Structure 1
Amino acid sequence: MSTQPSVQETTNTVAEPQKDVRSPEEIERLCKLHDSYKPIWLTETIQLAPVLPSDKEALIRHLNDPRINQYLYGPPNPYTPEDADQWIAGRIDRMTKNGTPLNLHLRDMAKGGIAIGAVTASDASDDDLQGDDTGYWLDPEYHGKGLMAKALRMILRRVSIDEVGKRKFNAHTFAENWPSRRTLEKAGFVFQPEMQKSHIVAGREIKIWVYRLYLTDEDISKMEIVEEAVPLPSLIQ
């Protein structure tokens, strides 16, 4: 969303929690499902895996990085330890009925599994296309490698499309964020020039680009399956 050299592959990551009240037993069951979710290998060293309590430090560091947060209008700025605690604690409110996480972190397993980015799937109704059905951010060190486009395509297909049954998606990105625009387009989203919006960020008005992805069952049958990478043998536990 900027012509600056440090443009980000970033979009809004706001997610509404589910409204039901779960019992302690249900929360415990879902926690176990969440934490046991099998990671997806994006590259031979980078995984797409569930949010963990140990991600707190990385979340605080990344979401306070101006190269990242200047393109986010969802998370608080500054992003505090309390914000990280609240986000991590709410991860069980962001799962499908089958126990699949809707919020996943990209992890560099060659660096001890540190969180380097995040991507969000959607279980919102196809009748509600006002908010964001996708959200993501990525450490600038990892830009230009196609990681986010691949992660987004994987999580949309595996979770939102196949498991949830969604067929319509809505996404926003800041008007000057060209890398984010390319990421959405690689995932099949189409720019909607007649639907541009604006948002106030840090006291200034930011133009927002709207993207949409509408799929039929025939479209899905023709979609290319994004294959997982083969991890380095030394990273397999």
Structure 2
Amino acid sequence: MKANTPQTFTRESAICLGPYIVSIEPVLHLSTVELSDIPEMVRILNINQDVYNGSALFQYPYLESHAQERIQKAHDYVTTFGINTHWAMRASPTGPLIGWAHLHFEHYDDKHPQPVHPTTGKPLRVADIGYWLSPENTGKGLATRVGKFLVQEIAHKEMDCDIVRAVSYVENMPSRKVAERAGMELELETKSILIPKLGEYRDVCCYASHRDEATRGIVKENYDY
């Protein structure tokens, strides 16, 4: 192998692929998102504008090209870094997608340096999570179960995250309740940020789960989308 050749990973060698059993009653699984999920993803995200209205990223109408790009990026991350960070919620191990969960590691630069543990000085691993559920499956507690599993089992345990955060529009109470029931606590009550897809500023809030109580004073500063 030549020096400086980037390492690539296969799906067999990557971590956090699942499938995970989140719940037995009701039956709920998490597994990798696949290109075969595109038709169902497009169908669900065009039922109404709930996900569009509740997210800073998703478009409406939602096109096959949007789904293709998002899922391909998820697969590319696996082969580049060896970690899966996007999952489909399913009502059976191989059933159709009924929702989505993702985790994004925070990126740092000179303007936004990586935070360190206040006592040990160790660089902290910080991630943001997101989730949406088909309007056909709301009201069953599924998003709450996934949120809790994502924070506690995947982010903290498998991915070794020190801090896990979830950002929501201030008025998006269903999303905020998922974060609260997942064991996250309100870190920032309100902040006005630019939402590029809307071309306007919206108020967001931030919830956080800290593996170590000593890091609670470290708050999110970069809210760029």
Comparing both structures, which one devotes a greater share of its residues to helix?
1
Contact persistence 1:197–1:210 (CA under 8 A): no
Is 1:150 the equivalent of 2:131?
A: no
Partner of 1:55: 37
Is 1:102 the equivalent of 2:102?
A: no
1:214 to 1:85, Cα distance in 2 relative to 1, 3 A: same
Q: What secondary structure sits across from 1:133 in the alignment? A: strand
Give the CA deviation at 1:205.
Answer: 3.6
1:34-54 per-residue CA deviation (whole Å, 9 max, x = no partner) reads 797333242343311111111
Q: What secondary structure sits across from 1:109 in the alignment? A: coil
Partner of 1:210: 206
C-alpha distance in structure 2 between counterparts of 1:211 and 1:156, whole Å = 11
Partner of 1:127: 115
Is 1:92 the equivalent of 2:100?
A: no
Q: What secondary structure sits across from 2:71 in the alignment? A: helix
Number of equivalences: 195
1:162 to 1:185, Cα distance in 2 relative to 1, 3 A: same
TM-score (norm 1): 0.67
Give the CA deviation at 1:174.
Answer: 1.0
Greater relative contact order: 1 or 2 (C-alpha under 8 angstroms, separation 6 or more)? 1
Give the CA deviation at 1:31.
Answer: 6.4
Q: What secondary structure sits across from 2:50 in the alignment? A: helix
TM-score (norm 2): 0.70
C-alpha distance in structure 2 between counterparts of 1:114 and 1:31, whole Å = 22
1:139 to 134, 137, 152: 134
1:8-66 per-residue CA deviation (whole Å, 9 max, x = no partner) reads xxxxxxxxxxxx9857xx35x23675797333242343311111111001221233331
Q: What secondary structure sits across from 2:54 in the alignment? A: coil
Contact persistence 1:96–1:164 (CA under 8 A): no
Contact persistence 2:22–2:145 (CA under 8 A): no
1:52-109 per-residue CA deviation (whole Å, 9 max, x = no partner) reads 1110012212333312211111134432212211222222334499945211111123
Contact persistence 1:96–1:102 (CA under 8 A): no
Q: Which amino acid aligns with 1:173?
A: S
1:36 to 1:67, Cα distance in 2 relative to 1, 3 A: closer
Q: Aligned Cα RMSD in Å?
A: 3.6
Q: What secondary structure sits across from 2:18 in the alignment? A: coil
Partner of 2:18: 37
Partner of 2:222: none
Comparing both structures, which one devotes a greater share of its residues to strand?
2
Q: What secondary structure sits across from 1:192 in the alignment? A: strand
Is 1:167 the equivalent of 2:162?
A: yes
Unaligned runs of 5+ in 1: 1-19, 219-237
1:89 to 1:22, Cα distance in 2 relative to 1, 3 A: farther
1:158-209 per-residue CA deviation (whole Å, 9 max, x = no partner) reads 3221222211123210111111111101112222345523334535542111
Is 1:179 the equivalent of 2:170?
A: no
Q: Which amino acid aligns with 2:184?
A: F
